[in-house]
Structure 1
Amino acid sequence: MAGDEGTEDAPRPFDAKRRKHGNEPPLRESNGYTRHESESRGKSRGQGRSRDRDRDRDRDLPSIDDELPQPFDAKKLESAKKRQRSTSPSEQPRKLKRPGQRARISNNEAAAIRQRHEQRERESAQAATDGTTATAHAGQGGINDIVRQHYNAVPERGRDWRKTGSRIKGLRVFNNWVKSTLIQKFSPDEDHTPGAQQQGRDMAGAQGHELIVLDIGCGKGGDLGKWQQAPQRVQLYVGLDPADVSIDQAKDRYRSMGSQGGRGGGRGGRGGYRGGRQPQQQQQQQHLFDARFFVKDCYGETLDDVDIVRQVGFDPSPMGRSGFDVVSMMFCMHYAFETEEKARMMLQNVSSALKKGGRFIGCIPNSDVISNRVTKFSERTAEKKEDLVEEGEQPSEDKEEGEAEETAEWGNGLYRVRFPGKTPEDGIFRPPFGWKYNFFLDEAVEEVPEYVVPWEAFRAIAEDYNLELQYHQSFKDIWESEKDDHILGPLSERMGVRGRGRGPLLVSPEEMEVANFYVAFCFYKV
C-alpha cells in the first residue's frame, strides 16, 4: 500500500538499545568516521595539511542528532528576500524591433479602427448639433443608442406622401402586404373558424377566445391596422420598442384609430385589459382592441419587469398555459445578433411570453442572399489577384495612407449593403454572431449598423427555447405562392401591390431586389 511504503521509507531516530553486534553499522568515532576510514583518510592526506584544519573540519560536521528529521515549524521560515531589479541606463535605450507578422495589425483591422474613429466623430458632431453632451457608450449600449437615435430622428411624413411622393412606395406597400400575409396565415388559433371576424362574432372555440398579441420592435405602430384586420379578433395588443419617440408616435396612431367613427379608445374601454371574456353585445359594439405601449430593450433585458407582460403570463417552461397567442418581430430581430447573449435573451423573452401553441412570426434579412453576395465578392477578389500575377505584378497587402480596404458591398439606386471589415470567403458566418454590416435604404434607413442572422444557426438556437419552425419563405417566394389566394390576392390589389383585376405587379425591379433581401418566418412554441 502507498501509505505503508511511506512509513517504511521514513528515517528512524537513533536507539542505542537496539544495536546488536554484527548486525548494525560499525561505530563511528568522535570525528564521524569509522576507525578504518580514519586511518585510510590519514594515510592519503598530504603532509602540507595542518592538524588545526582537521580539527576545524571535524568540529563543523553535524552530529547524529542533527541528522534526525525535525518537526515542521512555520514560525522559523524566513520571508523571501525581494530581488532588486537593476534599471537600464537612460543613456542606453532599448533597441526597437520591427513587429512580426503575427503582431502587426491587419489591413482589415486598421480599416475597422479608422471607420470606428470616423463613426465616433460623426456621433460627436451630431451630439454637438443637437446641443447635447457627447457621452461615451461602452459595451452593448453603443449599437442600441445608434439605432435608437436613428429611428427617433426619422420624420413622420404621413400616409399621403407614402402613397404618392415616396420613391419606394412600391416597396412599402409590398412589405406591408407580406406582413399582412403573415398575420392572416399564422395569427389565428388552429381551431379558429374562417370568416368569423367578418360576421361580427368570433367562433374560435367554445370559449370565444380573442388574441393577445405582443409586438416587439413595434416602431411607430405601423402594424396596428393590420392587427385590426386580423382574421381572429384581437383583445389586447402590447407594443414594445427602445425608441421613445417611436412609442409616442405609436400612441398617437392608436388614438387616431380610436377616434375614427366615434368608437372610443379600445376594446376594454377605460378599464383596459381584463384578462377575461366580455359580453357579446359589448364585443360587437367595440371594434378596436385595447393597446399598451412601452419603451423597452427586448434584447438586453428580460420582459418579466413589464407589468402587463407579467399579468398576461411570462413562463419559460414549455408547459406554460398562460401567455400571449402571438409574438411579432418585424424587421428588427437582426439587431439581437450583435452578441450571443442578446440573441439568447431575445429568444428567452419570446418563448417565455408565448403560451404553449403560441406563434412567433417575423421578418429578417435573408442570410442566403448575404452569403451569396459575400462569396461572389471573394471570388472577384481572388480573380483580381490572379490577373495581377499573370501581368507580372505581385499583389500587395499594404495600402497607401487614407486608402481603405475593399470590402463586400452591393446594392442599387435604392439600397446599399456594406461590410466594414473582412467577410468569410466561403460565405459561412462562423461564429454566427457579431457580423456587422451597414444598411442604407432611401427615405428610410441612413447607414444603420445591422447584423447577419445565419438562418440555420438561428433555427438551432430557437429549438433550445422550445420554438419549432413552421414556415420560412423569401418575400419573392411568398408573392409567387400567395398572389392568387382568394383572400391575399384581392388584398394585394386593395393595398396597391398590383393592378386591379389581377393586374401587373406595381413594384419596380429595383424595389423587388430590396424586398428579396428579406425572409419571413413562423415558429410554434411546443
Structure 2
Amino acid sequence: MMRSCQESSSSAFYRPPHLRFKNLHLSCHEVADHYSGRTNQTLEQHEAGSIIHLKQFNNWIKSVLIQLYAKRGDAVLDLACGKGGDLIKWDKARIGYYVGIDIADGSIEDCRTRYNGDADHHQRRKKYCFPARLICGDCFEVRLDKFLAEDAPFDICSCQFAMHYSWSTEARARRALANISALLRPGGIFIGTMPDANVIIKKLREAEGLHFGNSVYWIRFDEEFEDKDAVDCPEWIVPFPVFKALAEEYGFELVFVKNSHVFVEEYLKKPEFVELMRGLGALGDGKEDQSTLSPDEWEVAYLYLSFVLRKRGQPDQTRVNSRRDKGKMHLSKEDIVYISD
C-alpha cells in the first residue's frame, strides 16, 4: 500500500495549531475520484496484491479495536467505510444497526454489493445480522447531525485509515469532529487509525531530501505526485497532540493512542488475539504457512497509530431501537442516499 503524504515543509508541523492547515479543499474530490476509479477491480484482485500480509495485519488491528469496544446490539457509524471491508468484523460483534458513509460512489456501490452477499469474492456469505443504511457524501464537509437525527445516537463510531483526510483545512477537521460528537451518545466510543506524525517527521529528518520510502511505500513532501498503482492522492499527517486538543473541544477524552508496533506487542500477549492473528494469516498460521510481513511491510505498519476516544458524559442505558427501522436487510441501488453540502 503506497501512501503519499503532503505538506509544505517540515517546519509546518511546529507552527501554532491554527496555522497547521493548508487550504486544499478541492483535494477531497481527488480522493473520491481515486477510490471510485479502483472499483473496476474485483474484491479478490483488490485483496490479492503483493502486500497481502500488511492488509491482513491492518485487518487484525481493526478487528482487535472492534472486539475491544463494540458490544452486542450497538448502533455503529462507519465514516469513510469504503468498500465495506469491515462489515464482517461488525457482524462478528453482533451489532444491532450500521450506517456507512463514504465520499466515493463506486466504493459505496461495492459496499452495497458486499452487504447483500453478492460480491464476486471468496467470502460470499449469508446475510449479515444487522440492518444497514449506506450514504454517499463527504462526512468531513456535510453537517450530519440533522440528516441522521432519527438514526442517532450511535454507540460507536469508526474511521479507519481516513481521518487525516479531514485535515486539509481547519474547517473540515472541525466539521468531522463536530459530526462525530453530535451523533455519539454520552460515553460513546470513537475508534480509528491514522498516520503517526511523530514517526513520519522522524523519518523526514533522517532522509537526505524531502522524500523517503521503501519497496512498499513512498512519502513525498512539496512535490508533484507520480502515477502509482495504489493510494496516490493528496494526504495529510496530523500531529496527534493537535488532534487530541481539537477533539477535547468537542467533548472527547483520550482512552489511548498507540503506534501499530506497540499495539501488536501489547495485544499479542492476549491468547484470543493471537488466535485471531493466526486466523487472518498476517504472521502465518503457526503451522504449514510460515509466511509473514516483509521487513518493508513492517516498516509501513510503523507509520500508523490507533486511537480510542470517549465522548464525555454518563451513558444513558436506555436503547433507542425505533431509529433502526430506517435500516434494511437488503439494499438496492435506490436505497443509497446521496448527500452534499
TM-score scaled by structure 1?
A: 0.51
Alignment partners' CA distance in 2, 1:505 and 1:489: 16
Point out where structure 2 has 5 or more consecutive residues left out of the alignment.
1-7, 10-22, 313-341
Alignment partners' CA distance in 1, 2:146 and 2:244: 27
Alignment partners' CA distance in 1, 2:251 and 2:262: 27
CA contact (8 A) 2:39 2:106 kept: no
1:320-369 deviation per Cα after TM superposition (whole angstroms, max 9, x unaligned): xxx10001000111111111111111110011110000000000000111
Given the superposition, is the C-alpha separation of residues 409 and 168 from structure 1 closer, same or farther in structure 2, using an over 3 Å criterion? same
Given the superposition, is the C-alpha separation of residues 226 and 261 from structure 1 closer, same or farther in structure 2, using an over 3 Å criterion? closer
Deviation at 1:414, TM superposition (A): 1.3
Alignment partners' CA distance in 2, 1:365 and 1:175: 13
- Which of these residues, 146, 156, 175, is aligned with residue 345 of structure 1? 175
CA contact (8 A) 1:416 1:439 kept: no
Counterpart for residue 516 of structure 1: 302
Counterpart for residue 431 of structure 1: none
Q: Does 1:249 find its partner at 2:249?
A: no
Alignment partners' CA distance in 1, 2:247 and 2:135: 25
Deviation at 1:141, TM superposition (A): 4.6
Counterpart for residue 300 of structure 1: 141
Alignment partners' CA distance in 2, 1:505 and 1:477: 21
Counterpart for residue 495 of structure 1: 280
**Aligned 1:238-387 pairs, distance under 5 A:** 238-256=99-117, 263=127, 288-306=129-147, 309-313=148-152, 323-377=153-207, 380=208
CA contact (8 A) 1:186 1:522 kept: no
Deviation at 1:305, TM superposition (A): 4.2
Deviation at 1:261, TM superposition (A): 6.3
CA contact (8 A) 2:160 2:194 kept: yes
Counterpart for residue 219 of structure 2: 417
Given the superposition, is the C-alpha separation of residues 354 and 262 from structure 1 closer, same or farther in structure 2, using an over 3 Å criterion? closer
Alignment partners' CA distance in 2, 1:348 and 1:496: 37
Q: Does 1:221 find its partner at 2:105?
A: no
Matched to 2:149, the amino acid is R
CA contact (8 A) 1:357 1:525 kept: yes
**Aligned 1:167-186 pairs, distance under 5 A:** 167-186=50-69
Counterpart for residue 74 of structure 2: 211
Deviation at 1:159, TM superposition (A): 5.0
Matched to 2:237, the amino acid is V
Alignment partners' CA distance in 2, 1:525 and 1:256: 34
User: May I ask how many residue pairs the two structures share in their alignment?
Assistant: 288
Secondary structure at the aligned position of 2:254 is classed as: strand
Deviation at 1:500, TM superposition (A): 2.8
CA contact (8 A) 1:228 1:289 kept: yes
Deviation at 1:513, TM superposition (A): 0.9
Alignment partners' CA distance in 2, 1:366 and 1:478: 13
Q: Does 1:146 find its partner at 2:17?
A: no
Given the superposition, is the C-alpha separation of residues 358 and 301 from structure 1 closer, same or farther in structure 2, using an over 3 Å criterion? same
Percent identical: 35
Counterpart for residue 316 of structure 2: none
Deviation at 1:296, TM superposition (A): 1.4
Q: Does 1:408 find its partner at 2:210?
A: yes
Counterpart for residue 474 of structure 1: 259
Secondary structure at the aligned position of 2:149 is classed as: helix
Deviation at 1:481, TM superposition (A): 1.2
Deviation at 1:312, TM superposition (A): 2.4
Counterpart for residue 278 of structure 1: none
Alignment partners' CA distance in 1, 2:226 and 2:156: 28
Matched to 1:142, the amino acid is L
Given the superposition, is the C-alpha separation of residues 296 and 155 from structure 1 closer, same or farther in structure 2, using an over 3 Å criterion? closer
Alignment partners' CA distance in 2, 1:439 and 1:521: 31
Given the superposition, is the C-alpha separation of residues 439 and 505 from structure 1 closer, same or farther in structure 2, using an over 3 Å criterion? farther
Matched to 1:234, the amino acid is I
1:189-241 deviation per Cα after TM superposition (whole angstroms, max 9, x unaligned): xxxxxxxxxxxxx6xxxxxxx100000000111111111112xx211100001
Alignment partners' CA distance in 2, 1:149 and 1:476: 32
Q: How large is the Cα RMSD of the aligned pairs?
A: 2.6
Given the superposition, is the C-alpha separation of residues 159 and 240 from structure 1 closer, same or farther in structure 2, using an over 3 Å criterion? closer
Given the superposition, is the C-alpha separation of residues 262 and 472 from structure 1 closer, same or farther in structure 2, using an over 3 Å criterion? closer
Secondary structure at the aligned position of 1:256 is classed as: coil
1:50-102 deviation per Cα after TM superposition (whole angstroms, max 9, x unaligned): xxxxxxxxxxxxxxxxxxxxxxxxxxxxxxxxxxxxxxxxxxxxxxxxxxxxx
CA contact (8 A) 2:251 2:311 kept: yes
CA contact (8 A) 2:255 2:308 kept: yes
Alignment partners' CA distance in 2, 1:261 and 1:499: 24
Secondary structure at the aligned position of 2:235 is classed as: strand
CA contact (8 A) 1:420 1:438 kept: no
Matched to 1:148, the amino acid is A
Alignment partners' CA distance in 2, 1:367 and 1:261: 38
Given the superposition, is the C-alpha separation of residues 507 and 142 from structure 1 closer, same or farther in structure 2, using an over 3 Å criterion? same
Given the superposition, is the C-alpha separation of residues 168 and 261 from structure 1 closer, same or farther in structure 2, using an over 3 Å criterion? closer
TM-score scaled by structure 2?
A: 0.78
Secondary structure at the aligned position of 2:29 is classed as: helix
Matched to 1:182, the amino acid is L
